[in-house]
Amino acid sequence: MSNWIYGSLFAGSFLSATLLPGSSEAMLVGLLLAGKGQAVTLTAVAAVANTLGGVTNIVIGRLLPLKNQGRWHHTATRWLGRFGPAALLLSWLPVIGDPLCVLAGWLRLPWLATLIFLTVGKTLRYIVLTVTTIQGMAWWH
* CA–CA separation, 34 and 96 (whole Å): 30
Per-residue pLDDT tens over the stretch 56-86: 999 999 998 777 666 766 777 777 778 999 9
Asked if 32 and 133 touch (Cβ cutoff 8 Å), the reply is yes
Confidence check: pLDDT of 118 > 80: yes
State residue 68's pLDDT score: 65
Per-residue pLDDT tens over the stretch 18-46: 766 678 899 999 999 999 999 999 999 99
Q: Which long-range contacts (CB under 8 A, 24 or more apart) does 88-93 make?
A: 88/54, 88/114, 88/117, 88/118, 88/121, 89/117, 89/120, 89/121, 90/121, 91/54, 91/117, 91/118, 91/121, 91/122, 92/50, 92/121, 92/122, 92/124, 92/125
Asked if 133 and 29 touch (Cβ cutoff 8 Å), the reply is yes
